[in-house]
């Protein structure tokens, strides 16, 4: 990233590695140049090489010579960098047709389910415009049918504005590389012609909707251990993660767009923001069934507000390097503190692993006085009865009867105790 830019208004060179930006006589300069693009002149900041030579290498890669100032965090240090803005994008006729067709489809699905739908809805103060505002008992869902490219900063800003007005944003895209993915509540669909969007044929949500999966990791599990990444080595711990419908065991049905319109407004599906255990600064966003959200909170704890956005308030570091006039576009190996290298991928699961299954999850709570008081001979007989090793015999959590308690295939309680909880007939061991 460039460490300096040319200010076309003041006709000065700005040094981003210096605390005073190279101009101690302009104390408000930092606030001026870090404003959102829509609140300042787009051509306010210029690539230094373009200013001096009339062209820079970014223009060979469909980028403009105009710059934006961002924060970049690397190695625990946050600095200011300049990045080239994209060439202005005007929606093509095809993008416009798809956008219009999707808005009409969303509104039609809402009305068919008895919900209120307003196309091109504006907030009372005029600051928020929503493609389709669908209102149900769970509140207002602001659908944004985004078929044209959009920047991450624009998605965040518009999502924050919507949330401030009591609207839950829901961005819909047809690209797995869209900048909006994981920056706000979102969903993705296949890229189909506008005629297919406008028709009544089923339209599936391909990404952005997930289901909760949890399992005790053992050799007999249907899943490979995500910790050891092996089909043969199990860690013995509890894994909890969110999966796409096709990756669930057993597989779940894909959610349709029309179904999500109604389910999100009625509260059957809710937005979640799941932190990555390995990198707490990284999040996965998704829409999930309400009952799955409740189970997740029971296991992991209360979720964060899905409308809450990360802020870039890290203290800035100024290295006071010499001003570099060379355009470095394409040479950068670092990224902004706005770190979302992945897009719509199947591995953004929000995996959480626990050493033991939390006791609150057991329908038959563990009794502290349940101990197994049997002789070695009785232990061997119980092992033969249940078809397991002697050392896998332990007390039922409910009645303390010797059962196959530990190891692959072990259970927390005997069939009779589980039957009392579920209301089913217990399966007798032959």
What is the DSSP annotation of 85-99? EEPP-PPPHHHHHHH
In the chain, how many domains are there?
4
- Answer yes or no: do 260 and 129 share one domain: yes
Q: How confident is the model at residue 40 (pLDDT cuts 50, 70, 90)?
A: confident
pLDDT tier, 97 (very low <50, low <70, confident <90, very high otherwise)? very high
First to last CA, the chain: 71
Residue 409 has pLDDT above 90, yes or no: no
Q: What is the pTM of this model?
A: 0.66
Asked if the structure places residue 315 within a domain, the reply is no
Residue 121 has pLDDT above 90, yes or no: yes
Residue 314: what pLDDT? Answer: 59
Instruction: Pick the last residue of a domain from 86, 103, 128.
Output: 86
Crossing angle (nearest 10°) for helices 93-112 and 257-266: 50
My answer on whether 245 and 266 are in the same domain is: no
- pLDDT, position 348: 66
**pLDDT recorded at residue 355:** 74
Position 331 scores a pLDDT of: 62
The CA distance from 190 to 382, in Å, is 55
Position 339 scores a pLDDT of 38
* Whether residue 233 sits in one domain with residue 154: no
How confident is the model at residue 424, as a pLDDT? 55
Q: Which residues pair with 77 in a beta bridge?
A: 74
Q: Which tens digits make up the pLDDT trace of 392-403?
A: 898 888 888 899
388 in a structural domain: yes
As a whole number, mean pLDDT of residues 92-114 equals: 92
**61 and 76 co-located in one domain:** yes
Q: Are residues 116 and 185 in the same domain?
A: yes
Examine residue 228 and state whether it is found in any structural domain, yes or no. Answer: yes
Are 120 and 192 within one domain?
yes
Q: Are residues 183 and 296 in the same domain?
A: yes
Q: SS3 for 39? A: helix
pLDDT above 50 for 65: yes
Assess if residue 325 is contained within a domain. no
Which residues constitute the domain of residue 233?
Answer: 210-251
pLDDT digits (tens, 9 = 90+) for 159-175: 999 999 999 999 999 98
Q: What is the reported pLDDT for 8?
A: 94
Mean pLDDT of the chain: 83
Share of the chain above pLDDT 70, in %: 83
pLDDT tens per residue, range 320-363: 898 888 887 766 433 333 333 445 666 668 787 877 656 555 55
The three-state (H, E, C) secondary structure of the chain, written as one string: CECEEEECCCCEEEECCCCCCCCCCCCCHHHHHCCCHHHCCCCCEECHHHHHHCCCHHHHHCEEEEEEEEEEEECCEEEEEEEEEECCCCCCHHHHHHHHHHHHHHHHHHHHCCCEEEEEEECCCCCCEEEEEEEECCEEEEEEECCCCCCHHHHHHHHHHHHHCCEEEEEEECCCCCCCECCECEEEECCCCHHHHHCCCCCEEEECECEEEEEECCCCCCCCECCCCECCCCCCCEEEEEECHHHCCCCCCCCEHHHHHHHHHHCCEEEEEEECCCCCCCEEEEEEEHHHHHHHHHHCCCCCCCCCCCCCCCCECCCCCCCCCCCCCCCCCCCCCCCCCCCCCCCCCCCEEECCCCHHHCCCCCCCCCCCCCCHHHHHHHHHHHCCCHHHEEECCCCCCEEECCCCCCCCCCHHHHHHHHCCCCCCCC
Pair 173, 292 in one domain: yes
Same domain, 370 and 283: no
Q: Do residues 148 and 226 both lie within one domain?
A: no
In a domain, 203, yes or no: yes
Q: Once rounded to an integer, what is the mean pLDDT over residues 364-369? A: 57
When mean pLDDT is compared over 55-69, 85-99, 174-188, the highest value belongs to: 174-188
* Domain-ending residue, one of 285, 310, 335: 310
For residues 154 and 64, give the distance between their C-alpha atoms in angstroms, rounded to a whole number: 18
The answer to whether position 331 is within a domain reads: no
Q: What is the mean pLDDT of residues 16-30?
A: 93
- Residue 355 is assigned to a structural domain of this protein: no
Q: How confident is the model at residue 91 (pLDDT cuts 50, 70, 90)?
A: low
Q: Are residues 387 and 367 in the same domain?
A: yes
Among 310, 327, 352, residue at a domain's last position: 310
Reply yes or no on whether the pLDDT at 220 is more than 90: no
pLDDT beyond 60 at 232: yes
User: Is 380 within a domain?
Assistant: yes
- Model confidence at 382, pLDDT cuts 50, 70, 90, reads very high
276 and 133 share one domain: yes
Biggest CA-to-CA distance, the chain: 92
């Amino acid at each position: 990233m460039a460490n300096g830019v040319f200010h076309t208004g003041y006709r000065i060179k700005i040094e981003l590695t210096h605390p005073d930006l190279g101009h101690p006589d302009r104390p408000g300069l930092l606030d001026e140049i870090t404003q959102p693009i829509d609140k300042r002149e787009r051509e306010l900041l210029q690539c230094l090489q373009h200013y001096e030579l009339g062209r820079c290498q970014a223009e060979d890669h469909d980028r403009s010579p105009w710059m934006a100032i961002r924060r970049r965090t690397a190695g625990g240090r946050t600095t200011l960098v300049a990045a080239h803005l994209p060439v202005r994008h005007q929606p093509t006729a095809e993008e416009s047709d798809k956008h219009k067709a999707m808005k009409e489809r969303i509104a039609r699905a809402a009305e068919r389910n008895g919900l209120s739908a307003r196309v091109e809805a504006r907030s009372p103060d005029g600051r928020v415009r929503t493609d389709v505002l669908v209102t149900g008992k769970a509140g207002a869902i602001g659908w944004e049918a985004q078929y044209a490219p959009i920047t991450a900063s624009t998605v965040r800003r518009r999502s924050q504005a919507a949330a401030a007005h009591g609207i839950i944003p829901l961005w819909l895209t047809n690209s797995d590389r869209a900048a909006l993915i994981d920056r706000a509540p979102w969903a993705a669909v296949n890229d189909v012609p506008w005629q297919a969007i406008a028709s009544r044929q089923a339209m599936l949500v391909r990404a952005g909707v997930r289901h909760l999966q949890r399992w005790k990791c053992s050799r007999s599990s249907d899943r490979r251990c995500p910790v050891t990444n092996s089909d043969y080595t199990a860690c013995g711990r509890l894994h909890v993660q969110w999966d796409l419908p096709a990756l669930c065991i057993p597989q779940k049905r894909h959610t349709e767009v029309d179904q999500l319109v109604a389910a999100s407004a009625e509260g059957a599906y809710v937005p979640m923001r799941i932190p990555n255990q390995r990198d707490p600064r990284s999040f996965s966003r998704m829409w999930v069934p309400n009952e799955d959200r409740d189970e997740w909170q029971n296991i992991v704890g209360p979720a964060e507000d899905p409308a809450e956005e990360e802020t870039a308030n890290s203290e800035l570091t100024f290295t006071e390097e010499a001003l570099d006039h060379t355009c470095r576009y394409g040479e950068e190996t670092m990224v902004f503190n706005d770190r979302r290298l992945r897009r719509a991928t199947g591995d953004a699961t929000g995996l959480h692993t626990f050493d033991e299954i939390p006791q609150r999850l057991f329908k038959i709570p563990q009794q502290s006085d349940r101990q197994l008081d049997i002789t070695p001979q009785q232990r061997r007989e119980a092992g033969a009865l249940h078809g397991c090793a002697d050392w896998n015999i332990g007390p039922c959590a409910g009645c303390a009867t010797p059962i196959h308690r530990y190891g692959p295939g072990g259970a927390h309680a005997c069939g009779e105790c589980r039957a009392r909880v579920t209301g089913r007939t217990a399966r007798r061991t032959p």
